[in-house]
Amino acid sequence: MTEKSFKGKTVLLTAGPTHEPIDPVRFIGNHSTGKMGYALAECFAQQGAMVQLVSGPTNQRTHHANIDVIQVTTANEMYKAMQKRAEAADVWVFAAAVADYRPKTVADKKIKKAGDELTITLVKNVDIAAALGKQKKEWQFSVGFALETDNESANARQKLHKKNLDMIVLNSLNDPGAGFAHDTNKITIIEEEATHTFELKPKSEVAQDIVDLIWKRLHG
C-alpha cells in the first residue's frame, strides 16, 4: 500500500474497444488493445481501490484480487454494465475506445459477397460518459479520455464540459509512440483551471501519473 491510498474507494473503469456486429462473422471495431485501461485498473488496485473493470474484447488480463472484470462486447452492453454500477462508485474512468456508431440492422447469417459495393446504414451509439455525466453526484469524480488528431486541446476541453467530467486525458495520434497498440503513451491532462503535460512514458507510469492526480483532487 502506498501513501496515496484509495482504500475504501470504488473505481468503475472502462477499457478496450467495442465490437459492433454486422453479421455473425464481421464487426465494426477499432485498434484499441485495452493496455491503458488495464494499466489504470492495476494501479488503482495496488493503491487499495476496489476496481470494477468493464472491458471490451481484448487480450489483456489481470489477476489482482481487487479487480472484478466485467466482459462486454458492444457499446450498448458496456453502457448497461456501467449504468448498473455507476451510482455506487466513487470514481468513474472512461478509458475504453467505444464505437461511435453501430449497424442499424445485424444480419442473422453471413452476408455473401455480391457486387462491387456494400452499403451499411449506421446509427449512433449512446455516449456513455455524457449519459452518466447527467446523473453524476457532487461526491463522484469522473475522468474521460480523448483521442484527437486536430484541434486537440479545444476538442478535449469541449468534451470536458459536454460530458460533465472533472478531468480529461488527451492523447494525440500525432505523437510517435502514443495511442493504440503501443506500450508507451504521451498524455495531457486537462482540468477546468489547469493543464498538465507529460512526456512519453510506459503506460504503467502514465497510469500512475493519472491516478496520482486523481488522488490529489480527491484529497485536495
Q: Are 11 and 44 in contact (CB under 8 A)?
A: yes
Can you give the length of the chain in residues? 220
- The candidate with the shortest Cα–Cα distance to 6, out of 77, 86, 79, 66, is 66
Residue 136 corresponds to which cell in the numbers above?
Answer: 453524476
Catalytic residue list contains 76: no
* Dist CA 215 CA 23 (whole Å): 44
Cα three-residue angle 16-217-213, rounded to 5 degrees: 50
- Given 30, 76, 155, 164, the catalytic residue: 30
Contacts of 151 (CB under 8 A, 6+ apart): none
For residues 138 and 152, is the Cβ–Cβ distance under 8 A? no
Amino acid at 62: T
Contact 41, 130 (CB under 8 A): no
Kind and range of the H or E element at 207? helix 203-218
List the catalytic residues: 30
